[in-house]
A and B are shown apart, each in its own frame.
Chain A
Amino acid sequence: MITLLEELVLLAVNDDGGMAFTAGSPSFGRAVAGACLVELSEAGRIDADLSAVRLVSSAPTGSAAADRVLAELAAGEPAAAEVWVQRLQEIVPELVRLALRMLVERGVLEQTEARFLWVLRARRYPVIDGREQKEAKLRIVSSLLGDEVPTPHDTALVGLACAGGLLQGFLSNAEIARLQDRINLVGGIDLFVKGVESAIRTEAAIRAQAYMIPMV
């Protein structure tokens, strides 16, 4: 069974083993941080309310990425989920690398080296049999097409995949538009996912402000 973070990273892997363009986006980075927080919450290491994330136990979980985030939480000042999602952005590339390494160790992905222009090297991660990636997509689609109450894990997966811009990788814009009400309903009935959504909104607002031309 792969972790929520691994599922999210797997959804960002293209058919050719490259990472989707969304993988470097601020939204994806915030979804990655959120996935680690949800994992720690599911593992009983942290809890949260609207004002703060609370450390329940600093015992390792066995997941390298989740434990990296746990160490950050244990060393940092208490703050709301949105603030933690923002703080964790510095280590997102490391978290993604750890998730990719685990997926290779689990036999889900293969690691290959490719060369561009005979000189530049690029690492690729082709999917081996695609079962786990298909399963993650299927769980998302089932949650969106059915009228069942989703599991907490699936609501986090839907919410984070949506926030991270990963639904576009396997659903058309028309399908997303048609399912938008259900996406809003089931995606992210979770305070950590809400923290991710708030962090993305805040980042977008800051970016928009930076691009504004001062009126003379």
Chain B
Amino acid sequence: MNATFDVVEGLTLVNPVGRLDFEASAIFQKQMEQVIAEAAGRSSQPVLVNCAALDYVSSAGLRVFLVAARAAKSAGIRFSVCALTASVKEVFDVSGFSRIIDVQADLDSAKGVLAASRSA
């Protein structure tokens, strides 16, 4: 799995690509920890994970999202995911992740929601 990290329109955008399984989870977790620490240093900038190109997530991958969401909440950062592919959405729904993590339908609506929350 590869991931890119950009700061755009006042938020940190994470774009994971490929399969988030056990092999990929340790590196991605470290990257997410760094992203959240940096976002905290930028006036608690929101972090958005765009999952449009994430094909697969396993139990180990879900744990990365949970740890990241926990770290973000502790740092006062809004943490959202968006554009889940069908297979990833199924895993999020079955595991109950969709109820504890903010999930937006697509990138544009996620950006809109985050922009509105910043201006509120």
Contact in complex: A47, B58 (CB < 8 Å) = yes
- Residue B73 at the chain A interface, CB threshold 8 Å: yes
- Residue A192 at the chain B interface, CB threshold 8 Å: yes
Residue with the greatest number of chain B CB neighbours at <10 A, chosen from A48, A152, A155: A152
- Residue A90 at the chain B interface, CB threshold 8 Å: no
Contact in complex: B58, A150 (CB < 8 Å) = no
Number of contact residues on A: which range applies? 20 to 34
Give B45 Cβ to nearest chain A Cβ, in Å: 19
Contact in complex: B59, A47 (CB < 8 Å) = yes
Residue with the greatest number of chain A CB neighbours at <10 A, chosen from B66, B69, B97: B66
Q: Which single member of B22, B60, B95, B99 contacts A194 (CB below 8 Å)?
A: B95
Q: Which of A65-73, A91-99, A103-111, A182-190 lies on the face that meets chain B?
A: A182-190
Contact in complex: B70, A50 (CB < 8 Å) = no
Q: Which single member of A44, A148, A191 contacts B95 (CB below 8 Å)?
A: A191
A140 to B45, CA, bound (A): 31
Contact in complex: A189, B70 (CB < 8 Å) = no
Interface members, chain A 135-150 (any B CB < 8 Å): 148-150
- Residue A205 at the chain B interface, CB threshold 8 Å: no
Contact in complex: A49, B59 (CB < 8 Å) = yes
Contact in complex: A41, B59 (CB < 8 Å) = yes
Contact in complex: B94, A148 (CB < 8 Å) = no
Interface members, chain A 179-216 (any B CB < 8 Å): 184-186, 188-192, 194
Number of interface residues of B (CB under 8 A): 23
Contact in complex: B63, A152 (CB < 8 Å) = yes
Contacts of A49 in B (CB 8 A): 56-59, 91
Contacts of A192 in B (CB 8 A): 59
Whether A185 contacts B96 in the complex (CB less than 8 A), given A41-B59, A49-B59, A148-B73, comes out as yes
Q: State the main secondary structure of chain B at its contact with A.
A: helix
A77 to B114, CA, bound (A): 46
Residue with the greatest number of chain A CB neighbours at <10 A, chosen from B60, B70, B90, B97: B60
Contact in complex: A148, B60 (CB < 8 Å) = no
Whether A149 contacts B59 in the complex (CB less than 8 A), given A189-B100, A191-B95, comes out as no
A150 to B100, CA, bound (A): 10
Contact in complex: B95, A152 (CB < 8 Å) = no
Contacts of B62 in A (CB 8 A): 189-191
Contacts of A47 in B (CB 8 A): 21-22, 58-60
Q: Which single member of A50, A152, A184, A186 contacts B94 (CB below 8 Å)?
A: A50
Interface members, chain A 53-97 (any B CB < 8 Å): 54, 56
Chain A residues within 8 Å of B, Cβ to Cβ: 41, 44, 47-50, 54, 56, 148-152, 155, 184-186, 188-192, 194
Which 9 A-B pairs have CB atoms at the shortest separation, nearest pair first? A47-B22, A149-B70, A48-B59, A191-B59, A152-B63, A47-B58, A189-B96, A149-B69, A47-B60
Chain B residues within 8 Å of A, Cβ to Cβ: 21-22, 56-60, 62-63, 66-67, 69-70, 73-74, 90-91, 94-97, 99-100
Q: A47-B60, A49-B59, A192-B59 are in contact. List 7 more A-B contacts (CB 8 A).
A: A48-B58, A54-B22, A148-B74, A149-B73, A190-B59, A191-B58, A191-B91
